Chains A and B, each alone.
Chain A
Amino acid sequence: MHEKTLAELSQALQNKTLSSVELTQHYLKRIEQLDGSLNSYITVTAESALEQAAAADARIAAGNAGPLTGIPLAHKDLFCTQGQRTSCGSKMLDNFISPYESTVTQRFLDAGAVSLGKTNLDEFAMGSSTESSFYGPTRNPWDTDRVPGGSSGGSAAAVAGRLCVAATGTDTGGSIRQPAGFTALTGLKPTYGRVSRWGMVAYASSLDQGGPMARTAEDCALMLQVMAGFDAKDSTSVEQPVPDYSASLSDSLKGLRIGLPKEYFAAGLDAATSDAISAAVKQFQALGAEVREISLPNAELAIPAYYVIAPAEASSNLSRFDGVRFGYRCDHPADLTDLYKRSRAEGFGAEVKRRIMVGTYALSAGYYDAYYLKAQKIRRLIKNDFMAAYEQVDVILCPTSPTPAFKIGEKIDDPVSLYLTDIYTITANLAGVPGIALPAGFANGLPLGMQLLGPYFSEARLLNIAHQYQQVTDWHQRAPAGY
């Protein structure tokens, strides 16, 4: 049953050819058998999953089920789940049992979905490989010597390894799209403000956005339908009606204008990925789309701007982890300063500390204008680039990363080369626009990803385009050997 998509399993549950308890047991068993090699889960909540499954079966029997009722999912361990450990992949929160439920996970509970557990991530979502987790690296099911991408690498590996039907992720600089590309999944980063951030532990508040990771665009549509919507508890949440994302999946692509940013097809892009996208362009043309070259002239400034803004916000967001009220506290602090210093020095990993240092520096008196303010100006320019581009085209097509999944350990000691893997994804976060990543081919057995970026609140259109592409291709149907 794990070869089926969310949409197919939903049908099976509704038709009662399958029960949620059976399905949940099946996935729990797979996790037990296979996750030892992947390390995609930090916490497996078997007991509550089976209770939820039983409740879902009752709900289906009573006839008041929705499409997600009874579907076993996994949540990135950045979403607070009441009564369960919410670790953020950090030693700092290894002992943290959340006293409340995030809006996103609450919506899934309300929809009757089953949660199998919490997935691994780069510590506090800071990374592109899921190697910086306190709980060890997650491995890519397509090649377990390789990373699954990050920071939502646990969710990516769990969905790709068929250890859950679909999962939630969060995307601050590409953390949904890049791992989706590395594992042949479909992953959507919604418009900033589309999905509530209440209960989603903040990395960089102005960039963070939760979204779905699944096997197909159709599945992502079903997931987003649950996640999206205004939340009075999040002041940056946007009060905008949520369309029926499944309703427009079958719309024609005739007349669709696709732009290829020339800056993204220059030096540094892996040839196989470039070829895969060229092939995808032909597919889109065959589906009736027009493709033209466009320019995002300030794209090259995105990485430096991101690595000022995100660490600046992070340095402030992570100040609350001080050993006073929750989380890790050092042994026998001599005094208050010692409590702060050692709790934070011992509780945070290297990459988190690096970003706190960078961000603290960028916000310091005398440097603020040169770094933070300048980065904000670049952010404005990048946003303007997108607005100008969307006057010429409906969506932008580009790679999700310069290369396919790299080897574990290959880049971990070279932070800058690791930062560069986000070069194609970061701009969407800086501009706040939505993007969907989907598989575009394979090279040497490794998935190649591409992404479509659209204007604000164009999620329905992006899902429609991805779905139409998936009607004429089968990359998304391939499963990694042994899973």
Chain B
Amino acid sequence: MQWEIVIGLEIHAQLTTASKIFSGSATTFGAEPNTQASLVDLGMPGTLPVLNAQAVRNAVKFGLAIDAEIGMTNVFARKNYFYPDLPKGYQTSQMDHPIVGKGYLDITLEDGTVKRVGVTRAHLEEDAGKSLHEDFHGMSGIDLNRAGTPLLEIVSEPDMRSAKEAVAYAKTIHSLVRYLGICDGNMAEGSLRCDCNVSVRPKGQTEFGTRCEIKNVNSFRFIEKAINTEVQRQIELIEDGGKVVQETRLYDPNKDETRSMRSKEEANDYRYFPCPDLLPVVLEPSFIEEVRGELPELPQQKRERFESQFGLSTYDASVLSASRELADYFEQVQQTCGDAKLAANWVMGELSSLLNKEGLEIEQSPVSAAQLGGMILRIKDNTISGKIAKMVFEALAAGEGDSADEIIEAKGLKQVTDSGAIEAMLDEVLAANAAQVEQYRASDEAKRGKMFGFFVGQAMKASKGKANPQQVNDLLRKKLEG
């Protein structure tokens, strides 16, 4: 049977605010346990929450960026359950009146097609603390530094049809929240966490299958693997005559399997009700407009501009606009060299593989945008060939010079364009390969074509790559034919 996969994601983005959502404690990651927990975060008797305005502003930014309706009246609700790292015995969240309503995101798939994914809602809530089960024999440690950190929970529609689409969506959210400056997107530190709702159904069926929720998947790679593993499990289960049970599952990356955490029947009744300690927060239209004015150019707008302004393909434009830092780098290279296509090729080609190899972010690139742009200028004015440029680039990356010009000069890499010098060099090459020249001249047209490449190679080798390839071609042909 042909199966269709249905995926919806719930992404928790930690909002970058100086203090927590309902208290004045700092939100810095990695501090000594319980040093960033105030009376409010500890749930001390008699303490009360006060809403952080910056968290509201950040959430509104996100809502505007996905073209969503903004909830003008915000009600905070208590989600009641017991857990040691949940100090008050309830999480303050939003239920019926979320700050961000229906919106959408356009994601670019690997083949360059653009798909629209619906966002059901996004709401503000507080994070819980952390339970530390290691290092304590027979006991658990509780660290409440994270308790009360503001989260935006972004719930998608079940619009994705493959693990790759889910990853593309997650990456788009990741990029967007970083563009907006509302979340640092650091998945290793848990700043962006993802729950995947996965179900399968026979192709053509309109109703959804029973879904399972895979909790807390914390890297793009694991999102893809966890979903594929879970899809496989569900299909095998159904094909063996079984039934998928609605439940929460955990993904174990070591074993590459998901396992049951709790079933729907075991699920908590959270007894949501409006938090009586927080009055409804009513947003003014003027506030929304003020926030709108603070929005930067968004990834999609940037992508579209890269396509129209620079004539880049959709795929190239979306790769280059994926992060604000990469886009800024590319634009600086483009400005320096005046050639968007070459700039795009170099940024997506040599530069990307260098960064990949070294495990570096674009901000840490050993070759600056000005250096790369300056080098491309030298390709354009024929000072160096593309091949020599790769050597120059490597030298720049190794810190052998401050600029391409300096390296070209020091290493004598300047392209030879003097036709007299090239001819003399060619004469030597042909003389050294007299037998091949004979053979060439005796061959028919088709065979000659193949042999021509050999002479070009020999010539470029003899010139150490410095001879202008076009001139080598032209002069070589003339000499061989002659």
Give A residues with C-beta under 8 Å from B.
79-80, 86, 88, 93, 96, 98-100, 102, 197-202, 204-206, 232-236, 312-313, 315-316, 318-322, 324-326, 336, 340, 360, 363-365, 368, 372
Q: Are A80 and B48 in contact (CB under 8 A)?
A: no
Smallest beta-carbon distance A434→chain B, Å: 19
Q: Are A319 and B48 in contact (CB under 8 A)?
A: no
Near A by CB (< 8 A), chain B positions 1-52 give 39, 42-51
Assuming the A-B contacts A200-B46, A316-B271, are A235 and B51 also in contact, with contact meaning beta carbons closer than 8 angstroms in the complex? Answer: yes
Q: Judge if B269 is at the interface, Cβ distance under 8 Å.
A: yes
Smallest beta-carbon distance A103→chain B, Å: 10
* Chain B residue total in the interface (Cβ 8 A): 28
Smallest beta-carbon distance A466→chain B, Å: 29
Q: Which of B39, B44, B84, B272 has the largest number of chain A CB atoms within 10 A?
A: B44
Q: Are B82 and A93 in contact (CB under 8 A)?
A: no
From B276-284, B292-300, B375-383, the one touching the partner chain is B276-284
Q: Are A324 and B80 in contact (CB under 8 A)?
A: no
From B86-94, B108-116, B335-343, B394-402, the one touching the partner chain is B86-94
Q: Are B46 and A319 in contact (CB under 8 A)?
A: no
Q: Judge if B273 is at the interface, Cβ distance under 8 Å.
A: yes
**Nearest chain B residue, comparing its CB with the CB of A366:** B269
Complex CA distance for A198 and B50, rounded to whole angstroms: 11
Query: Contacts of B277 on A, CB cut-off 8 Å?
Result: 202, 205, 235-236
Q: Are A324 and B142 in contact (CB under 8 A)?
A: yes
Complex CA distance for A360 and B46, rounded to whole angstroms: 21
Q: Are B49 and A235 in contact (CB under 8 A)?
A: yes
Query: Contacts of B273 on A, CB cut-off 8 Å?
Result: 312-313, 316, 363, 368, 372
Assuming the A-B contacts A313-B276, A316-B89, are A325 and B82 also in contact, with contact meaning beta carbons closer than 8 angstroms in the complex? Answer: no
Q: Are B89 and A201 in contact (CB under 8 A)?
A: no
**Nearest chain B residue, comparing its CB with the CB of A361:** B271
Complex CA distance for A7 and B46, rounded to whole angstroms: 31
**Nearest chain B residue, comparing its CB with the CB of A92:** B45
Query: Contacts of B278 on A, CB cut-off 8 Å?
Result: 235-236
Complex CA distance for A233 and B48, rounded to whole angstroms: 7
Q: Are A235 and B42 in contact (CB under 8 A)?
A: no
Query: Contacts of B61 on A, CB cut-off 8 Å?
Result: none
Which of B42, B49, B90, B276 is A325 in contact with, Cβ under 8 Å? B42
**Nearest chain B residue, comparing its CB with the CB of A360:** B271
Q: Are B45 and A88 in contact (CB under 8 A)?
A: yes
Give B residues with C-beta under 8 Å from A.
39, 42-51, 78, 80, 82, 84, 87-90, 142, 269, 271-273, 276-279
Query: Contacts of A360 on B, CB cut-off 8 Å?
Result: 271
Complex CA distance for A196 and B277, rounded to whole angstroms: 12
Which of A202, A316, A325 is B46 in contact with, Cβ under 8 Å? A202
Which of B45, B51, B269 is A80 in contact with, Cβ under 8 Å? B45
**Nearest chain B residue, comparing its CB with the CB of A124:** B45
What are 28 pairs between A and B in contact, CB < 8 Å? Answer: A80-B44, A86-B46, A99-B44, A100-B39, A100-B44, A199-B46, A201-B45, A202-B46, A202-B277, A205-B276, A205-B277, A232-B50, A233-B48, A233-B50, A235-B49, A312-B273, A316-B271, A319-B80, A319-B82, A320-B43, A320-B88, A322-B89, A326-B44, A326-B45, A363-B273, A364-B271, A368-B271, A372-B273
**Nearest chain A residue, comparing its CB with the CB of B80:** A316
Complex CA distance for A431 and B205, rounded to whole angstroms: 53
Q: Are B39 and A319 in contact (CB under 8 A)?
A: no
Q: Are A365 and B89 in contact (CB under 8 A)?
A: no
Q: Are A320 and B45 in contact (CB under 8 A)?
A: yes
Query: Contacts of B50 on A, CB cut-off 8 Å?
Result: 232-233, 235
Query: Contacts of B87 on A, CB cut-off 8 Å?
Result: 320, 324-325
Query: Contacts of A235 on B, CB cut-off 8 Å?
Result: 48-51, 277-279
Q: Are A234 and B48 in contact (CB under 8 A)?
A: yes
Q: Enumerate the 5 nearest inter-chain pairs by beta-carbon distance, A residue then B residue, closest first.
A: A319-B89, A205-B276, A363-B271, A206-B276, A320-B43
Complex CA distance for A98 and B50, rounded to whole angstroms: 21
Complex CA distance for A206 and B280, rounded to whole angstroms: 13
Which of A102, A197, A320, A326 is B89 in contact with, Cβ under 8 Å? A320
Query: Contacts of A102 on B, CB cut-off 8 Å?
Result: 46
Complex CA distance for A429 and B406, rounded to whole angstroms: 81
Given contacts A198-B48, A321-B45, 18 further A-B contacts (CB under 8 A): A79-B46, A98-B44, A98-B46, A197-B48, A198-B46, A198-B47, A199-B47, A201-B46, A205-B276, A233-B50, A313-B276, A319-B82, A320-B87, A322-B82, A324-B84, A360-B271, A363-B80, A364-B271
Complex CA distance for A372 and B44, rounded to whole angstroms: 26
Q: Are A319 and B279 in contact (CB under 8 A)?
A: no
Complex CA distance for A325 and B41, rounded to whole angstroms: 12
Assuming the A-B contacts A102-B46, A324-B84, A364-B271, are A236 and B89 also in contact, with contact meaning beta carbons closer than 8 angstroms in the complex? Answer: no
**Nearest chain B residue, comparing its CB with the CB of A318:** B89
Smallest beta-carbon distance B72→chain A, Å: 18
Q: Are B43 and A365 in contact (CB under 8 A)?
A: no
Complex CA distance for A98 and B39, rounded to whole angstroms: 10
Query: Contacts of A322 on B, CB cut-off 8 Å?
Result: 82, 84, 89
**Nearest chain A residue, comparing its CB with the CB of B85:** A324
Complex CA distance for A364 and B268, rounded to whole angstroms: 10
**Nearest chain A residue, comparing its CB with the CB of B23:** A233
Complex CA distance for A336 and B84, rounded to whole angstroms: 8
Q: Are B90 and A316 in contact (CB under 8 A)?
A: yes
Smallest beta-carbon distance B92→chain A, Å: 10
Smallest beta-carbon distance B300→chain A, Å: 37
Smallest beta-carbon distance A293→chain B, Å: 34
Query: Contacts of B279 on A, CB cut-off 8 Å?
Result: 235-236
Q: Are B45 and A93 in contact (CB under 8 A)?
A: yes
Q: Are B44 and A319 in contact (CB under 8 A)?
A: no
Complex CA distance for A232 and B277, rounded to whole angstroms: 13
Complex CA distance for A315 and B272, rounded to whole angstroms: 12
Complex CA distance for A56 and B270, rounded to whole angstroms: 50
Complex CA distance for A368 and B44, rounded to whole angstroms: 28
Q: Are B46 and A80 in contact (CB under 8 A)?
A: yes
Query: Contacts of A364 on B, CB cut-off 8 Å?
Result: 269, 271
Q: Are A365 and B269 in contact (CB under 8 A)?
A: yes
Query: Contacts of A199 on B, CB cut-off 8 Å?
Result: 46-47
Smallest beta-carbon distance A224→chain B, Å: 20
Query: Contacts of B90 on A, CB cut-off 8 Å?
Result: 316, 319
**Nearest chain A residue, comparing its CB with the CB of B37:** A325
Query: Contacts of A80 on B, CB cut-off 8 Å?
Result: 44-46
Q: Are A325 and B43 in contact (CB under 8 A)?
A: yes
Q: Are B45 and A96 in contact (CB under 8 A)?
A: yes
Complex CA distance for A204 and B273, rounded to whole angstroms: 13
Complex CA distance for A198 and B48, rounded to whole angstroms: 6
Query: Contacts of B78 on A, CB cut-off 8 Å?
Result: 316
Query: Contacts of B39 on A, CB cut-off 8 Å?
Result: 99-100
**Nearest chain B residue, comparing its CB with the CB of A86:** B45
Query: Contacts of B88 on A, CB cut-off 8 Å?
Result: 319-320
Query: Contacts of B276 on A, CB cut-off 8 Å?
Result: 204-206, 236, 313
Q: Which of B80, B89, B90 has the largest number of chain A CB atoms within 10 A?
A: B89
Q: Which of A202, A205, A235 has the largest number of chain B CB atoms within 10 A?
A: A235
Complex CA distance for A165 and B142, rounded to whole angstroms: 45
Smallest beta-carbon distance B253→chain A, Å: 26
Query: Contacts of B43 on A, CB cut-off 8 Å?
Result: 320, 325
